[in-house]
Structures are given as C-alpha cells and as structure tokens.
C-alpha cells in the first residue's frame, strides 16, 4: 500500500491566495502583468492602483457609509433621527439640449457647469454640518443628524435651514450661463423635514444597496415637491420646531391639500456666514492612505490584501459595470462625459417601505430581510440582461428603483433587454411573500413600471476630486419616472419610441395619447403585456 503523501504544488504566483478577491479591482492589463510577472515592481503598481481605487470608492459614498461600511451579504438596519434635505434642479433639460449639438465639446461644457453647481452645493452642505447621502439624478439628498445635546434640541434643524439658505444664495452664480443657444439659468427647490427613519443595508456580497425607509423620508420628498424655485420649503412638523428661530410665509402644495412654510431669507450676510463654527471647514474628505514601509514580496502582498479588505465593502455598493468603469479609468481619475441614448426603466416598489413605521419594535428586521431578498432578485434580473440597477431612490409613495440599459455599456437591443427585465421584475414583485409582522391593513406589495428611450447625459458628476458618482441625467429619465407614476398596480407603461424598438419581440396594447409635464405635444403610451408568442 502506497502511503506516500502527495507533494504540495508550488504556488504559481504569490497573489494566488487572494486572486479571486483581487480580480474585480484590477484593470485587465495590470492584472495580466502582475500575474505572469509578480515582481516587486509590478506588485508595487498593484498597490498604487488599489490605493487610488480606495480613494475613489470612498468618494462614491457618503461620510457616514464610508465610516460604517456594509458587511457584504449581511442585511442590517438601524433607526436614526435628524433633518433630511431634498433638492431638485430646474433648467437642466434646456441646458443639456443647448449643449448636445456640440458633441464632446458640448458634453465637456455641460459637465463643467454641472460640477461647478454640485461642488458648490456639496461644499455648503459639508461646511454646514451635513452629510451628502446620495445624488438622485440632478437632485441631492443630505442628512443633518440629530445630536444628543439636550441644550440644543433643534441644532440639526437649524443647521439644515441655514445650509439651505446658503445654497439658495449660491444659486446666483448660475443665473446667467452662456450656451451655444444663448443665456440660460438654473434654479433649485429645497425641501426639509425631520424625524425618525430606518437606515438599512440590503443585498448580496455581489451587490449591496443602502436605503432609507419610512414616512420621514417621504415627507421630506413631499416638501421638496411642494417647494418653489429659489426658496426653502419646510413641513409643518419642522416649522413647529423652528417657528421662533426664523421668519416664515404660509405655502400650500400644488393640489392645495397640504400646508407648508417657506423660510424668509432676511438674515444679514454677516450673520448667516459661510459655514457653522462647529462644522467641517472643508467639503473634501481626507482618508488615511496605505503606506509601504517594507517592499519585499511578502510585505507587498500583505498590504495589497489589506487594501482589498478596505475596498470590498464599499465596492459592493456599486453596480458592476460602474465598478468596472472606475477600475479601468482609475489611473486617469477621469471618466469622459458623453451624450448617450439609453433605455431607462423606473420601478416604483410599493408596500414594504410603508410598513416600517407601523410594525411592532423589532419586526422591521423581517421587512428588511424581505426587501433584501427582493432587491437581490431584481438586481440579478437586470444584470443578467446587461443592464445597470443604479440605485433605490425615494418617491412620494414607496421606493423608486432606477435602471439603465445602454450606459455605460450599450447593446444593439437594449430596449428589448429592458422590456424583458421589466417583465421579470414584475413577476418577482408579484411573487413576494409578505413579511411576518403585526400590522393592521397591511398594504399590498406591488410595483409600477415606466420605460422610455431617448437622449441623455452620462458623466461622473459631483466634485472632480471629492464626493461624486457616475450618473445618467436628462428628460428621458424624467419621462420614464412620469410614466411609472401613471401606471396602475403591476402595470408596465412605455413611450411610443420604446414601443417601436421592441414591438417585434413583445406584445403591447395602445393606451392613449397623453400630455406629459414639459411637453407641448401629446405622447403615445403603450402597455407592455408580455413576450410576443411565436406562431
């Protein structure tokens, strides 16, 4: 009987043990070079690349998330309190259209204006003590976290209002923008509301997402929607906290059903100042960079593994195509802007987000587990068809899921891929088993879906060397969102252009010619029913 033990195989590379984890974070050429020739020089290149990538993924997340990153694949949640701020930019569509005819030069010019705007707003939010949680198209969501200082119970709300006033004053810089089609301007609405909300990490190790849930988030969105360009709009709840701190005007929502307050900006410039004394004095975040003290092969591999450990949690929050784009462009630290023609899918996911404020303490965990499972399945349906689930955002009811086909990677049949994904998402939502919670009159778990195709602007927006993200913006995105809002429960509505691109493969019913906000002519709308049955 042969009892000789097998001779252990020699490792083909010192990177072999961490290669599966390292693989997603290296550009193709560097990966190949480091694997076939793992010399000290090439491993130092890997280290330097990963150090740059660590800074980038940190800049793609909020300060709070970077400080407390998710554990990939482990849903988690916690209740927070504070004042939330939603902004919305007016005038971007005209600005985009004015620059679109100039090609790459127009894209570069448009990005310059956008990033000047975003950089200014981010700087003010940060200097005022806030945290930019995310970009939502051309909008922003920021948090001014509540403190435990009993002597200053309204500190978060006061900081938020003062920040909002500074932001509106700064918009004078964008009142006269030179474009190929003349002088244009940008305006901004700001809505504020405060209270308790649920912050959660959901998803799989492959893709995580950070979401906010609860009525506080939706009431903030309602305040922004009811607002006025150039003004700061407060919910009546927040007004009650601050009625002795600022001067206000009465205001109503567009439908006249809700009362709001507009802040009167009668504060002298010297009194308002540029930032809060107790806030950060700069908007850019400085992260401790990994340093190399020893440059032997073993030490280099050890430091590379430490960087992978730091990158993985935050990278899990990025869609894979976006992560790949960042990895390949890390050396240049620049993603060129472009005018693209994507198919945009907007999904309003209704039911689960509305439950979190109504369940017994502790039962919100069941909601988050169900939400996490649904998100994982929806993201898989999008990824499998070559799309990008950009993020979960916030709607007047439920949560919005924003999906792109055609950016940053385009296919010849992106609209058909989008239609197939939308049908799969509807099936996923309709098959969700409601979480086990103690709640009366639990809402039905449903979705509404809108699909549109058209011109858009794809770029890395924000601070060029600070808080930023890759995004797709334009009226094409807005129209998809408006279609979504018009859809009935579990209905998929598409524009005439999307119908023309997918009619050979899918079954549609004509719905109507409808008037959409900002459009002089009516738009033909169709309902996507299912795949076209082959005879």
- Quick check: 10 pLDDT over 90? no
Residue 280 pLDDT level (bands cut at 50, 70, 90): very low
Q: What is the pLDDT of residues 138-157, one digit of tens each?
A: 999 999 999 888 788 899 99
Contact 468, 492 (CB under 8 A): no
Q: What is the pLDDT of residues 243-264, one digit of tens each?
A: 999 999 999 998 889 999 999 9
How far is Cα 92 from Cα 179, in angstroms, rounded to an integer? Answer: 12
**Any long-range contacts for 377-380 (C-beta under 8 Å, 24+ apart)?**
377/428, 378/347, 378/425, 378/428, 378/429, 379/203, 379/204, 379/207, 379/209
Q: What is the DSSP string of 282-349?
A: -SSPP-PPP--S--SHHHHHHHHHHHHHHHHHHHTTS-HHHHHHHHHHTTTT----EEE--EEEEEEE
The pLDDT score that the predictor gives to residue 121 is: 97
Q: What is the DSSP string of 279-300?
A: S-S-SSPP-PPP--S--SHHHH
- Quick check: 508 pLDDT over 80? yes
The pLDDT score that the predictor gives to residue 11 is: 65
Tokens of 77: 């949640």
The pLDDT score that the predictor gives to residue 4 is: 64
Residue percentage of the chain with pLDDT more than 70: 94
- Arithmetic mean of pLDDT, 312-321: 97
The pLDDT score that the predictor gives to residue 126 is: 95
**CATH 3.30.70.1230-classified regions of the chain:** 68-270, 338-531
- Quick check: 236 pLDDT over 90? yes
- Quick check: 337 pLDDT over 70? yes
**Topology annotation, domain 338-531:** Alpha-Beta Plaits (3.30.70)
Q: What is the pLDDT of residues 42-62, one digit of tens each?
A: 999 999 999 999 999 999 999
CATH second-level architecture of 68-270? 2-Layer Sandwich (3.30)
The pLDDT score that the predictor gives to residue 12 is: 77
Q: Which residues contact 210 (CB under 8 A, 6 or more apart)?
A: 65, 70, 199, 200, 201, 317
Q: What is the pLDDT of residues 91-113, one digit of tens each?
A: 999 999 999 989 999 999 999 99
The pLDDT score that the predictor gives to residue 516 is: 78
- Quick check: 211 pLDDT over 70? yes
The pLDDT score that the predictor gives to residue 464 is: 86
| Order of strands across the sheet that contains 343-350 | 388-394, 399-405, 343-350, 446-453, 492-495, 523-531, 506-514
The pLDDT score that the predictor gives to residue 283 is: 45
Mean residue pLDDT across the chain: 92
Contact 265, 271 (CB under 8 A): no
CA-wise closest residue to 75 among 352, 268, 490, 311 = 352
Q: Where is average pLDDT lowest: 270-274, 302-306, 321-325, 522-526?
A: 270-274
Q: What is the pLDDT of residues 469-492, one digit of tens each?
A: 999 999 999 999 999 999 999 999
How far is the CA of 62 from the CAs of 81, 132, 307, in angstroms? 17, 6, 19
Residue 181 pLDDT level (bands cut at 50, 70, 90): confident
Contact 413, 401 (CB under 8 A): no
Residue of 334 and 142 predicted with greater confidence: 142
Q: What is the pLDDT of residues 434-470, one digit of tens each?
A: 898 888 788 899 999 999 999 999 999 999 889 999 9
The pLDDT score that the predictor gives to residue 282 is: 42
- Quick check: 506 pLDDT over 90? yes
Residue 271 pLDDT level (bands cut at 50, 70, 90): confident
In eight-state DSSP terms, residue 4 is: P
Residue 273 pLDDT level (bands cut at 50, 70, 90): confident
Residue 13 pLDDT level (bands cut at 50, 70, 90): confident
Q: Which element (helix H / strand E) includes 223? A: helix 215-225
How far is Cα 54 from Cα 78, in angstroms, rounded to an integer? Answer: 26
- Quick check: 396 pLDDT over 90? no
Size of the chain, expressed as the number of residues it contains: 535
pTM over 0.75: yes
The pLDDT score that the predictor gives to residue 290 is: 64
Sign of CA dihedral 51, 55, 61, 62: positive
Instruction: Centre a 10 Å sphere on the Cβ of residue 36 and count the other Cβ atoms it contains.
Output: 10
- Arithmetic mean of pLDDT, 358-387: 95
- Quick check: 509 pLDDT over 80? yes
The pLDDT score that the predictor gives to residue 6 is: 61
């Amino acid at each position: 009987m042969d009892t000789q033990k097998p001779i252990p195989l020699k490792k083909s590379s010192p990177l072999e043990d961490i290669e599966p984890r390292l693989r997603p974070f290296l550009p193709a050429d560097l990966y190949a070079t480091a694997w076939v020739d793992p010399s000290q020089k090439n491993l130092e290149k890997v280290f330097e690349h990963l150090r740059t990538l660590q800074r980038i993924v940190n800049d793609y997340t909020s300060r709070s998330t970077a400080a407390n990153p998710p554990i990939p694949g482990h849903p988690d949640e916690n209740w927070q309190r504070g004042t939330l701020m939603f902004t919305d930019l007016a005038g971007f569509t005209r600005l985009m259209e004015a620059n679109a005819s100039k090609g790459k030069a127009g894209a570069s010019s448009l990005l310059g204006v956008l990033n000047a705007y975003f950089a200014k707003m981010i700087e003010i939010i940060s200097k005022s003590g806030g945290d930019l949680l995310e970009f939502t198209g051309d909008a922003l969501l920021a948090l001014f976290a509540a403190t435990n200082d009993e002597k200053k119970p309204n500190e978060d709300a006061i900081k938020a209002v003062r920040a909002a006033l500074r932001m509106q004053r700064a918009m004078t810089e964008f009142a006269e923008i030179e474009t190929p089609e003349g002088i244009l301007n940008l305006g901004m609405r700001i809505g504020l509301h405060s209270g308790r909300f649920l912050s959660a990490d959901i998803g799989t190790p492959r893709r995580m997402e950070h979401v906010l849930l609860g009525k506080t988030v939706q009431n903030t969105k309602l305040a922004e929607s009811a607002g006025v360009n150039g003004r700061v709009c407060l919910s009546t709840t927040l007004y009650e906290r601050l009625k002795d701190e600022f001067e206000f005007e009465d205001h109503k929502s567009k439908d006249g059903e809700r009362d709001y307050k507009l802040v009167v900006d009668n504060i002298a410039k010297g009194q308002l100042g540029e930032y809060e004394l107790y806030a950060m004095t700069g908007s850019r975040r400085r992260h401790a960079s990994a340093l190399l003290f020893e440059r032997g092969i073993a030490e280099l591999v050890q430091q590379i593994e430490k960087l992978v450990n730091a990158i993985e949690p935050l990278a899990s929050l990025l869609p894979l195509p976006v992560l790949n784009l960042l990895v390949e462009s890390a050396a240049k630290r620049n993603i060129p802007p472009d005018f693209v023609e994507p198919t945009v899918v907007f999904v309003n996911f209704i039911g689960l987000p509305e439950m979190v404020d109504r369940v017994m303490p502790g039962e919100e965990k069941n909601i988050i587990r169900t939400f996490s499972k649904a998100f994982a399945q929806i993201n898989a349906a999008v990824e499998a068809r070559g799309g990008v689930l950009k993020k979960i955002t916030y709607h007047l009811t439920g949560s919005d899921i924003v999906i792109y086909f055609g950016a940053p990677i385009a296919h010849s049949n992106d609209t058909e891929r989008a239609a197939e994904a939308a049908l799969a998402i509807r099936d996923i939502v309709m098959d969700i088993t409601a979480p086990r919670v103690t709640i009366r009159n639990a809402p039905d778990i449903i979705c509404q879906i809108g699909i549109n195709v058209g011109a858009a602007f794809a770029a890395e927006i924000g601070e060029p060397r600070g808080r930023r993200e890759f995004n797709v913006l334009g009226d094409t995105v807005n129209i998809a969102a408006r279609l979504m809002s018009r859809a009935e429960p579990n209905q998929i509505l598409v524009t005439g252009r999307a119908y023309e691109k997918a009619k050979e493969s899918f079954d549609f019913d004509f719905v109507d010619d409808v008037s959409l906000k900002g459009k002089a002519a009516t738009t033909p709308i169709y309902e996507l029913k299912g795949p076209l049955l082959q005879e």
